[in-house]
């Protein structure tokens, strides 16, 4: 925890996000069971439910259920296709509102974020007032409701935001954590899905309280690392910080030489090394690029850059090398023989690859 942090963490999650956006766009749907899914074809398609309105949830419909099953459960529901572009735009506006309230902000999905508000929030009463202001602002600007959980750590804040959905606001002070968690079913722990739930049930573990009192060695034996994680959560322990995403705009490497480089072949060799370094960093940080830029500083200290931008995202070290060298040779061609004090290679117009996405099929 840093100096400005009071340890209080917020988790915000929009209510029935896709379907709430659809209802906002089509107010005549207000109050109806609305189901958003891939290939809905008014209930006859083969797709799955992305989400549904709270009215539809009363019929037992939930995310990831086949659309055909949702139709059997509620034939008079309104079935709509996924309009991801629209939800992304709304998400980005909502996240910008939340960001303005935060000292530390971490978006974790299209409709949820963690935050810390260290400077202006001194205690849980302040935190609740502040959370209400965030809810009001989102509603005033976007006509959408969200639920907020406030707690001493991220996992409890997430469980708390889910506690009184929709339009909920739940604060759990440190001294309330045990009483809050103990009676909840283990399925409320993020990451405990159907399989783990069943396995725990077979061990006689139904509530988070049962889990807390269970033998941790047996849990580790059965579930490995996640057994320990579950046990710690049951005890109210989660030391993860709210991690701010700093947006990476470019990745570059440059080298200043003791003696100016006049030989183009030597300069090319240096560009190859710089390009490999840039590429390593690119792979580590999981980005694709569209633009390659070569930076040149001449013996008279003038500094120039030359760039090439591709129409599609690229990932290969070979492309960085080839383009940088071509840019340099073109520069020499246009300016006559040069002496370089510095050479630099940069890639920009970056795209972050998310876990599970493959570069080749998705982007090239």
- The candidate with the shortest Cα–Cα distance to 13, out of 133, 155, 112, is 112
C-alpha angle 156-158-162 in degrees, rounded to nearest 5: 115
Clarify whether 112 is annotated catalytic.
yes
- Binding to Mg ion by CB under 5 A, coded x per residue (else -) over 218-237, reads --------------------
**CA–CA gap between residue 276 and residue 7 (Å, rounded):** 41
Report residue 193 as tokens.
Answer: 């899905």
Q: Which is nearer to ligand TTP, 17 or 114 (CB)?
A: 17
- Asked if 133 and 10 count as a contact pair (C-beta separation under 8 A), the reply is no
Residues 106-125 that bind Mg ion (CB under 5 A): 111
13 is in an annotated binding site: yes
Examine residue 15 and tell whether it contacts ligand TTP (CB under 6 A). Answer: yes
Using CB under 6 A as the binding rule, whether residue 170 contacts ligand TTP is answered as: no
Name which of ligand TTP, Mg ion, none residue 165 binds, using a CB cut-off of 5 to 8 Å depending on partner kind: ligand TTP
Q: Which of 346, 332, 351, 350 is nearest to 293 (CA)?
A: 346
Which of positions 200-219 make contact with ligand TTP (CB under 6 A)? none
Q: How far apart are CA 130 and CA 127, in angstroms?
A: 5
Distance, CA of 149 to CA of 159 (rounded, Å)? 7
Check residue 293 for interaction with ligand TTP (CB under 6 A): no
Would you say 111 or 272 has its CB closer to Mg ion? 111
Single residue of 41, 45, 63, 68 touching ligand TTP by CB under 6 A:
63
Q: Which of 17, 287, 289, 331 binds ligand TTP (CB under 6 A)?
A: 17
Catalytic residue among 112, 116, 142, 346: 112
**Part of the chain binding ligand TTP (CB under 6 A), chosen from 108-116, 132-140, 316-324, 334-342:** 108-116
For residue 281, the partner it binds in ligand TTP, Mg ion, none, with Cβ less than 5 to 8 A by kind, is: none
The DSSP code sequence of 260-297 is EE--HHHHHHHHHHHHHHHHHHHHHHTEEEEEEEEEEE
Q: Which of Mg ion, ligand TTP, none does residue 135 bind to, with CB < 5 to 8 Å depending on kind? A: none
Q: Which is nearer to ligand TTP, 16 or 153 (CB)?
A: 16
Q: Are 278 and 320 in contact (CB under 8 A)?
A: yes
Cβ atoms of 40 and 80 closer than 8 Å: yes
> Is residue 13 at the binding interface for Mg ion, with CB under 5 A as the rule?
yes
Least gap, CB of 53 to ligand TTP (angstroms): 9
Strands (E), the chain: 9-14, 34-37, 49-52, 78-81, 104-109, 112-116, 146-151, 169-171, 250-261, 287-298, 303-314, 340-348, 351-352
Single out the segment in contact with Mg ion by CB under 5 A; choices: 11-19, 36-44, 77-85, 240-248.
11-19
Minimum Å gap between C-beta 342 and Mg ion is 50
Whether 2 has a binding-site annotation, put simply, is no
**Which residue positions form the known binding site for Mg(2+)?**
13, 111
Q: Which residues are catalytic?
A: 112
Q: Which residues lie near ligand TTP (CB under 6 A)?
A: 13-18, 50-51, 63-64, 110-112, 165-166
């Amino acid at each position: 925890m840093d100096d400005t942090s009071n340890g209080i963490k917020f988790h915000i999650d929009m209510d029935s996000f896709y379907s709430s956006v659809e209802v906002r766009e089509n107010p005549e749907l207000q109050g109806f069971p609305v189901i958003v899914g891939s290939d809905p074809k008014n209930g006859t398609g083969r797709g799955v439910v992305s989400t549904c309105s709270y009215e539809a949830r009363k019929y037992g419909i939930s995310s990831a259920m086949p659309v055909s099953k949702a139709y059997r459960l509620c034939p008079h529901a309104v079935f709509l296709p996924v309009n991801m572009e629209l939800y992304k735009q709304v998400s980005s506006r909502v996240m910008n509102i939340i960001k303005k309230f935060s000292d530390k902000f971490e978006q974790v999905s299209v409709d949820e974020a963690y935050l810390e508000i260290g400077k202006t929030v001194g205690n849980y009463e302040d935190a609740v007032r502040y959370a209400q202001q965030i809810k009001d602002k989102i509603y005033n600007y976007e006509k959408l409701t969200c639920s907020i959980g406030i707690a001493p750590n991220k996992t409890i804040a997430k469980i708390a935001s889910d506690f009184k959905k929709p339009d909920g606001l739940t604060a759990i002070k440190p001294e309330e954590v045990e009483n809050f968690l103990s009676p909840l079913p283990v399925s409320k722990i993020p990451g405990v899905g159907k399989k783990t739930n069943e396995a725990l049930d077979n061990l006689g573990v139904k509530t988070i309280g049962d889990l807390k009192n269970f033998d941790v060695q047996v849990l580790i034996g059965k579930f490995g690392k996640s057994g320990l994680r579950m046990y710690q959560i049951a005890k109210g322990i989660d030391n993860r910080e709210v991690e701010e995403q700093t947006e990476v705009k470019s990745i570059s490497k440059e080298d200043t030489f003791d003696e100016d480089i006049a030989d183009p072949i030597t300069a090319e060799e240096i560009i190859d090394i710089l390009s490999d370094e840039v590429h390593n960093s690119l792979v580590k940080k999981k980005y694709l690029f569209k633009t390659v830029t070569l930076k040149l500083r001449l013996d008279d200290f003038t500094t120039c850059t030359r760039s090439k931008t591709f129409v599609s995202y690229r990932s290969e070290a070979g492309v960085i090398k080839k383009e940088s060298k071509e840019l340099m040779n073109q520069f020499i061609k246009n300016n006559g023989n040069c002496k370089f004090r510095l050479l630099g290679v940069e890639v920009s117009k970056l795209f972050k690859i998310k876990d599970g996405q493959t570069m080749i099929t998705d982007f090239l």
